[in-house]
Structure 1
Amino acid sequence: MSATSSPLKRERDDAGAISSEDDYFTPASSASPAPSKKPKSPSASISSATTPTSTEGTTTSIVNKSEQLEAIFKNLRLRRIVKENHSSEINQMAFCLDQRHNKTPFGLDHVKVFEQRGAVKRDPWDNSNILGTTGGPQANIYDNEHCGDHLDIMSHFLLDPVGEEGSEELPEMLTCCWIHQPQDAILATAGTDKVIHILSLSRSKELVRLTGHSHTITDIQAHPFNDDYLLSASKDGSVRMWNILTGKCLLIFEIKASVVCFSPNSEGKTFLTGGYNGEIREWSIPTMDTEPEEPIVILANESRVLQSGLHSARIDCIRFAKGKVLSKSVNGKVEYWDPETLAQIRTFNIKNTASNQCRFDVSLDELFFCVGTSNGSVYIYNIDTGRTVTELKHRRSTKAIRTCIFARDSRTVICAGEDSFIWRYDYVTDETLNEWANWKAEP
């Protein structure tokens, strides 16, 4: 794909660079003035009364914050169920959480303020209410906080078959991620059709297709410091770095990896790959003064093996928390370890689950992670203590969970999986739970 064929690049060149945070894309339904007062809502009662102030950042404040968040997680209850129409697995979900461009508080410090009509007031550059899902041949985008906190559908993309002429087999989308672009929110998604689809939310259309992989794409990650770059892992035995504006493949790393994850402390200069045999490698991204005309090939012997015996099965998710690595294998084991010393810190054996592929999530404060099981439940763990905080479970949720995520305020956990249902668990106050417990139907 040539540089001149990308509508995304042409529109950016025409518009020029945008530096003001106020110019970032925000859907009309959620754009609003800055918060003016605390809301009269259940979620505000804990944060306003117990959030640490002067001791923030100390060991004591972290302990207090963990205890407060654990109380919130134990009060999560199923409040929303959405059925997607493709009747396939939902393989990944992602909130549009842009921590580099967006300085909105998170966790206990995030306080929602509601307008009279029920919409949440938010800063213009905060798009964290936007939820993207991918599964079957579709990518769907929801507003998680509009009009009474419903999961309202915003955009729906049905991805056409890509391949030999006459092929009518619909692709299955396996992975997705958000990419920041001025005045837009970009969702990238990929899967069995070997193509990375670049979708624009503000324009409701597909902008670019990145082609070059010869087999199923299993994972994609946006570059943490360059909004034009994207990393992809494929069963074809390569990991590739792309420029989404030009559509060009810049780098090819020769490794058959199931997942990839950028190292947050390296400014995007290194990343980890997880393999099908449980091996985890670290790769360095070469410095490019100018982008190459042809992709630069990096061989496997130019990478560093970090872990070879820690996992005995395929790696299906890697995340970082406080500079340390959380890696999960499909046999239900999550390892927490130091990427510098390679020392193992803690092992989490996911309860009540058989072999299951699930992308877990780390809360923005990096204190907790949530992970799904093969029987339809989600566990939340305290990373520092190793303690199981709670199990989110409903009798109707019996199929394997493939993906789960925290909302920005940590008062919502959303999961999805085999049955194409989206399950949303929300924080409910003690008072409301007592009312429910004491409620009796009228005769």
Structure 2
Amino acid sequence: MMVNQVVVPEVGLGHEVAVGSPTTPSRSREYKATNKHAEGKSPVYAVVFNFLDVRYHDVFATACGPRVSTYRCLTNGKFALLQRYLADDETESFYTVSWACDTDGTPLLVAAGKSGVIRIINCATEKIHKTLVGHGKAINEIKAQALKPSLIISASKDESIRLWNVHTGIFILCFAGNEGHRNEVLSVDFHPSDIYRFASCGMDNTVRIWSMKEFWPYIEKSYSWTDNPSKFPTKYVQFPVMVAAVHSNYVDCTRWLGDFILSKSVENEILLWEPIIKEESPGESRVDVLQKYPVADCNIWFIKFSCDFHFNQLAIGNREGKVYVWEVQASPPVLITRLSNPQLKSPIRQTAVSFDGSTILAGSDDGNIWRWDEVDHPTVPSVGRKGKQTMTES
């Protein structure tokens, strides 16, 4: 197979980048700080709503030290603790948590972190469903395939990406090798409509796009495999369909927006770009950077953004404890608001935007979950309202 060349952004006439203003919020949606919940003494590295099941859209999960918790967002700004799981290894530190489903629709929670062990929790029985071992080092992110949520993918410090079947516990595909990532893999995301495709990014400053199409028979085989999972003929994939160098430093978060990609580096900005892939002639593949979303004080790694279900809003925290909320699909991008809380001074590692964008959560290094809720936009500004704004928006 042909060795991939690294694709860099096109520049010049017709490739101008639309840059959003980080200093002039539109305030088209207004939020107020409604809650702070002490989750633990370790950083809250992950917080994520369940968009896979319509019954649980108001439920979210957190990862904090050796503990994974699930909560329901109540309408009064409070949280209801649903379940809590403690790793049997007290030295574990969970960096990522993801929702998945078994083949019968049972909601599953998948958590991993420092140890490199993936724990799959059955939320119905409140018991460990599977434990997946294979990565040689820490796992930085896990994602479920929304079109087939019994498939998960894991991104690791060991420079590999692995595809697993949570129903059978089988390790199906490994994406690594000569043309794989050359440093820690920090983030992965499945394409929303192309079931074969996913993107990854990491400390080698690249975003890589991979295809599973050629190996789909092995994925199907993983569901009917009855022998020992260790005997499954795992396939190794060395060649991505594109290696894109759209950033010049660590890339620690990537998400698909339709056929476009949002990616964030430690360069105080998120980029929206289009990968134009010619699989028959990779030398003709190209990338076109479309938009930039500036985020001040966001130059440390492992800060991840999130969006609502329809990708109308994007929320990203920074190292000063501020949250920038962007209207993703406006061109140029529009900053909706900057959220803050006088008590919040720590780096925000991950945000979670609710299904409709009316609630925004943030997990921070001080071990807390912070919450903001949308307030009705007033027709006539009031003095009292202005006073509240200073508490929630910087």
Q: Same fold (TM over 0.5)?
A: yes
Distance in structure 1 (CA, Å) of the matches to 2:59 and 2:187: 24
Larger Rg: 1
Tell whether the 8 Å contact from 1:177 to 1:221 is kept in structure 2 after alignment: yes
Task: Return the offset for 1:183.
Answer: 5.6
Q: Which residue of 1 aligns with 2:11?
A: none
Distance in structure 2 (CA, Å) of the matches to 1:263 and 1:390: 28
- 5 Å-filtered alignment, 1:365-380, equals 365-380=310-325
The Cα offsets for residues 80-122 of structure 1, whole Å up to 9 and x where unpaired, read as 110013x011111111112xxx5xxxxxxxxxxxxxxxxxxxx
1:362 aligned onto 2:283: no
Residues 429 and 193 (structure 1), Cα distance of their counterparts in 2 relative to 1, 3 Å cut: same
Structure with bigger strand share is: 2
Candidates 67, 71, 74, aligned match of 1:142: 71
Opposite residue 253 of structure 1, the aligned amino acid is F
Distance in structure 2 (CA, Å) of the matches to 1:89 and 1:433: 38
Distance in structure 2 (CA, Å) of the matches to 1:348 and 1:438: 27
Candidates 398, 422, 430, aligned match of 2:345: 398
1:154 aligned onto 2:58: no
Distance in structure 2 (CA, Å) of the matches to 1:428 and 1:435: 15
Task: Return the offset for 1:393.
Answer: 0.8
1:82 aligned onto 2:82: no
- 5 Å-filtered alignment, 1:183-198, equals 184-198=106-120
The Cα offsets for residues 44-79 of structure 1, whole Å up to 9 and x where unpaired, read as xxxxxxxxxxxxxxxxxxxxxxxxx96553x20100
Q: Which residue of 2 aligns with 1:126?
A: 55
Distance in structure 2 (CA, Å) of the matches to 1:197 and 1:89: 19
The Cα offsets for residues 217-256 of structure 1, whole Å up to 9 and x where unpaired, read as 1111112222321111111222111111211111111134
Q: Which residue of 2 aligns with 1:47?
A: none
Candidates 306, 319, 331, aligned match of 2:255: 319
Candidates 348, 351, 358, aligned match of 2:296: 351
Identity of aligned residues (%): 23
Opposite residue 365 of structure 2, the aligned amino acid is E
Unaligned runs of 5+ in 2: 1-24, 226-230, 277-285, 388-394
Q: Which residue of 2 aligns with 1:303?
A: 240
Task: Return the offset for 1:353.
Answer: 3.6
Structure with bigger helix share is: 1
Candidates 226, 229, 241, aligned match of 2:148: 226
Distance in structure 1 (CA, Å) of the matches to 2:58 and 2:187: 26
Candidates 264, 269, 272, aligned match of 1:336: 272
Distance in structure 1 (CA, Å) of the matches to 2:298 and 2:135: 33
Q: Which residue of 2 aligns with 1:62?
A: none
The DSSP-based 3-state class of the residue aligned with 1:351 is: coil
Tell whether the 8 Å contact from 2:161 to 2:175 is kept in structure 1 after alignment: yes
- 5 Å-filtered alignment, 1:204-223, equals 204-223=126-145
Q: Over the residues paired in the alignment, what is the CA RMSD in angstroms?
A: 2.3
Task: Return the offset for 1:430.
Answer: 4.6
Distance in structure 2 (CA, Å) of the matches to 1:183 and 1:348: 37
Opposite residue 317 of structure 1, the aligned amino acid is C
Opposite residue 319 of structure 2, the aligned amino acid is S
Q: Which residue of 1 aligns with 2:97?
A: 176
Q: Which residue of 1 aligns with 2:281?
A: none
TM-score with structure 1 length normalisation? 0.70
1:408 aligned onto 2:355: yes
The Cα offsets for residues 361-389 of structure 1, whole Å up to 9 and x where unpaired, read as 12222222110010001001122221222
Distance in structure 1 (CA, Å) of the matches to 2:207 and 2:299: 23
The DSSP-based 3-state class of the residue aligned with 2:221 is: coil
Task: Return the offset for 1:127.
Answer: 0.7
Q: Which residue of 2 aligns with 1:108?
A: none
TM-score with structure 2 length normalisation? 0.79
Residues 248 and 389 (structure 1), Cα distance of their counterparts in 2 relative to 1, 3 Å cut: same
Q: Which residue of 1 aligns with 2:10?
A: none
| Highest RCO, 1 vs 2 (Cα 8 Å, sep ≥ 6) | 2
Task: Return the offset for 1:186.
Answer: 0.9
Tell whether the 8 Å contact from 2:77 to 2:373 is kept in structure 1 after alignment: no
Distance in structure 2 (CA, Å) of the matches to 1:197 and 1:173: 10
Q: Which residue of 2 aligns with 1:96?
A: 50
Tell whether the 8 Å contact from 1:186 to 1:198 is kept in structure 2 after alignment: yes
The Cα offsets for residues 188-208 of structure 1, whole Å up to 9 and x where unpaired, read as 000011111111222222221
The DSSP-based 3-state class of the residue aligned with 1:209 is: strand
- 5 Å-filtered alignment, 1:231-270, equals 231-254=153-176, 255-256=180-181, 257-266=185-194, 268-270=195-197
Deviates more, 1:346-355 or 1:213-222: 346-355
Unaligned runs of 5+ in 1: 1-68, 103-124, 162-168
Distance in structure 2 (CA, Å) of the matches to 1:145 and 1:323: 34
Tell whether the 8 Å contact from 2:27 to 2:337 is kept in structure 1 after alignment: no
